[in-house]
Structure 1
Amino acid sequence: MGHIARTIGTRRRGTTTAALLAAAVTASLMAGCTSDDRPSDDGRGQTHSRSQDPDHRESHTPSVGSVLAVKIDNVHAARPQTGLEAADIVYAEQVEGGLSRLMAVYATRLPEAVGPVRSARETDLELLRQFDDPTLAFSGAQRKLLPLIDRAPLNAESPESAASGVYYRGADRAAPHNLYLRPQRLIAAAPGPDALTTGFRYGAAPAGGTPAESRTVRFPSARFTFTWSADRHGWLVSMDGTPTVTTDDNTTDDKRIAAATVVVQYVKVRESKFHDVLGNNSPYTQSVGSGRAQVLRDGRAFDVEWRRGSAAEGTDFTTADGTPVNFAKGQVWVVFATA
């Protein structure tokens, strides 16, 4: 795949957005996936997401302290994913038709490749405000959403805006489920744990909790199951009834994903003003606010409360008496369940 660490980025804020829209989106209708990437991936290696007017292009190098967030496909045709094991945080959100999509956040380690990369949602913009100048890697977005991405305080990097070689097409599956990112060609180095301004705390487990062997979270057309493994000292992830494995940096062997901490966060999921080309509404997940959550760690489940005061803040998780709840050291999965 190539392993060249160099910083290449193109910041695309305030650009004209609707000039280069693709007339058709055929590939995203395959494999039971809704056609949500318009304008985006046309299945031929072209991604239509932003204007290419050279007068509006601004050269930009992402901040050394910036996290990398990657939108990752999560239908059957996209599995196994690549590079998921290196993420510090994996967010699971609802998309059109009740399906799910992942956003993986990288701060402590950059894998050689990540994917398959898919399109952004309005939900992502609010969620990413908690980070300082984050870089968002995505395949494109719905046409009317593009101006919001242009104005968001982030570095938006699609295949159209990124330098040659940052993205590539895999040969082992059909488009649009074969677009991959080489993170180390996009940002110079992993920024480190201080860039994870999520509000998450790590340390000893809180008192109490109840023993838990397994926990399942259901979306309308998807489900996540987390099963405690004492051997892995983590929660084995399954999605849609299938064990979640990922290909790592240096081998084609599949590895089972085991999260150190799982957060089931109950949030408001409402309709947005955006739709895919089939007319399906794009759900909007509200990550600002407060509510209940369940934290899974060390084979136990803890009922907690969450609060995020504004989009620029991280999320606090506390017990009923206001005591902060520590997570276990390692990968965190946050599943946004409907309140």
Structure 2
Amino acid sequence: MKKAIYLLLLLLIVFTGCSKEEEKAQNNKQRDSSTEEKAVPDGEEEAEKALKNIFPLTGMKTDEEADNRIIGIMVNNHTLARPQSGLSSADMVFEILAEGKITRLLALYQSKIPDVVGPVRSAREYYFKLANAYNALYVYHGAANFVNDMIINRGIEHLNGSIYDNDGNLFKREAFRKAPHNSYLQVDAVYDVAEGKGYEVTSSFEGLEFLDEKEVVSLSGEPANHVEIVYSANNPMEIVEFAYDEASGKYTRFNDREKTVELNTDEAVQVENIFIVETHHEVIDDAGRRAIDLASGGNAYLIQKGNVQKVQWENQDGKIIPVIDGKPAGFVPGKTWINIIPSAPGIEQSVTISN
């Protein structure tokens, strides 16, 4: 009898212990489940933190450091230099007259660094002043002696293709084009060569003014689905156009009625912002070189998302920005193309905007 009672008590203890273990396991499972449920939003929060960095020239979020130094490259826009290489990767492009009625491009790269950019052409004062305002490494191929002297004397950190001409590392002459339209920058080598000259290759740069999502959606203005810029009434082939694609919210660029594309891939050059600036131009020598006023401000068009706004432009710390009622007007996050045109004949005479 005592033996039977002992066995019964033993079974009761074992059963109770098992029940408590099952209850403990169930509680642990519930706690684990609760932790798992919290892990999803925590993960999203971490992902959001990972995108806390913003590329300063595009306003786009990134999980990268976004502190690689901006590279400003002089890109040839002569008819014999088209189609170019690397323009589709540029964060921002300034298009300005060089000599005659041919424009030249200063392309700024930071968020995306292409393998090759070119053809690369010679320097001008107003281009290197713009590049310096963005603390960019200024890359060009050749210049008049007095321009080179200005670059050196003003402490512009630069890489001159005349020094590295066809060295196979930084610059390469391509056989499929004739000089001076065949010098291509091997961009992968830029930072290494710059470091060798004692230049910094990382840099903190205060970003431009960008619109948030709600501001982008609420953009308004006159319709601007097609933009045409005539740099010379006497030379109808020097025409720049932009065509709006509502599906992508981007403008595709054309030059002399031909789409601007990448040389090797035919990828179209597209931008989110077109900023057209009117300012005084003056020919200063027999070679047709110009002085261009990038300080005084004046009339401008800001074209985004199929709309155009008449704005003013100002120079703030060397950077050319759009202004509305005295306050900076934000860019749509993305790429920007800035066309600087002469005040004679003027913006209204040189630019046609239509639906």
Q: How does 1:83-102 map to 2 (within 5 A)?
A: 83-102=86-105
Query: Which residue is 1:267 aligned to?
Result: 279
Q: 1:286 to 1:334 in 2, by over 3 A?
A: same
Query: Which residue is 1:201 aligned to?
Result: 210
Query: Which residue is 2:9 aligned to?
Result: none
- Separation (CA, whole Å) in 2 of partners of 1:97 and 1:328: 33
Task: Give the superposition deviation at 1:207.
Answer: 4.6
Aligned pairs, how many? 262
Query: Which residue is 2:174 aligned to?
Result: 170
- Separation (CA, whole Å) in 2 of partners of 1:326 and 1:192: 25
- Separation (CA, whole Å) in 1 of partners of 2:241 and 2:328: 26
Task: Give the superposition deviation at 1:244.
Answer: 0.6
CA contact (8 A) 2:68 2:201 kept: yes
- Separation (CA, whole Å) in 2 of partners of 1:81 and 1:112: 13
CA contact (8 A) 1:73 1:116 kept: yes
- Separation (CA, whole Å) in 1 of partners of 2:278 and 2:207: 17
Q: How does 1:67-216 map to 2 (within 5 A)?
A: 67-132=70-135, 134-162=136-164, 165-187=169-191, 195=205, 197=206, 199-203=208-212, 204-205=215-216, 207-216=219-228
Query: Which residue is 2:33 aligned to?
Result: none
- Which moved further from structure 2: 216-225 or 198-207? 198-207
CA contact (8 A) 1:107 1:191 kept: no
Task: Give the superposition deviation at 1:171.
Answer: 2.0
Query: Which residue is 2:322 aligned to?
Result: 317
CA contact (8 A) 1:108 1:191 kept: no
SS in 2 for 1:281: coil
- Separation (CA, whole Å) in 1 of partners of 2:229 and 2:267: 22
- Separation (CA, whole Å) in 2 of partners of 1:332 and 1:282: 26
Bigger proportion of residues as strand: 1
CA contact (8 A) 1:199 1:314 kept: no
Opposite residue 184 of structure 2, the aligned amino acid is Y
- Is 1:232 matched with 2:220? no
Measured against aligned partners, the alpha-carbon deviations of 1:230-283 in whole angstroms (never above 9, x if no partner) come to 133211101122111113xxxx221111111000011111123xx4xxx33212
CA contact (8 A) 1:129 1:153 kept: no
TM-score, reference length from structure 1? 0.71
Q: 1:256 aligns with which of 268, 271, 277?
A: 268
Query: Which residue is 1:58 aligned to?
Result: none
Task: Give the superposition deviation at 1:161.
Answer: 3.4
- Which moved further from structure 2: 204-213 or 139-148? 204-213
- Separation (CA, whole Å) in 1 of partners of 2:267 and 2:128: 30
Task: Give the superposition deviation at 1:112.
Answer: 0.3
Query: Which residue is 2:336 aligned to?
Result: 332
SS in 2 for 1:187: helix
Identity of aligned residues (%): 23
Measured against aligned partners, the alpha-carbon deviations of 1:86-121 in whole angstroms (never above 9, x if no partner) come to 110010000111111111001111100000000011
Cα RMSD for the two superposed structures: 2.4
- Separation (CA, whole Å) in 2 of partners of 1:160 and 1:77: 20
Measured against aligned partners, the alpha-carbon deviations of 1:274-327 in whole angstroms (never above 9, x if no partner) come to x4xxx3321222222211110111011111111115xx44233222x3343121
CA contact (8 A) 2:138 2:156 kept: yes
Q: 1:97 to 1:316 in 2, by over 3 A?
A: closer
SS in 2 for 1:147: helix
- Separation (CA, whole Å) in 1 of partners of 2:151 and 2:327: 36
Opposite residue 251 of structure 2, the aligned amino acid is W
- Which moved further from structure 2: 321-330 or 119-128? 321-330
Structure 1 alignment gaps of length 5 or more:
1-63
Query: Which residue is 1:29 aligned to?
Result: none
Structure 2 alignment gaps of length 5 or more:
1-66, 195-199, 344-355
- Which moved further from structure 2: 323-332 or 292-301? 323-332
- Separation (CA, whole Å) in 1 of partners of 2:260 and 2:219: 30
Query: Which residue is 1:36 aligned to?
Result: none
Opposite residue 235 of structure 1, the aligned amino acid is Y
CA contact (8 A) 1:84 1:114 kept: yes
Task: Give the superposition deviation at 1:164.
Answer: 5.3
- Separation (CA, whole Å) in 1 of partners of 2:242 and 2:219: 21
Measured against aligned partners, the alpha-carbon deviations of 1:158-217 in whole angstroms (never above 9, x if no partner) come to 12434751100112211111100011201159978953x574434333653111111111
TM-score, reference length from structure 2? 0.68
Q: 1:230 to 1:184 in 2, by over 3 A?
A: same
- Whichever of the two has the greater Rg, that structure is 2
Q: 1:79 to 1:149 in 2, by over 3 A?
A: same
Query: Which residue is 1:284 aligned to?
Result: 291
Bigger proportion of residues as helix: 2
- Separation (CA, whole Å) in 2 of partners of 1:284 and 1:200: 28
Measured against aligned partners, the alpha-carbon deviations of 1:18-59 in whole angstroms (never above 9, x if no partner) come to xxxxxxxxxxxxxxxxxxxxxxxxxxxxxxxxxxxxxxxxxx
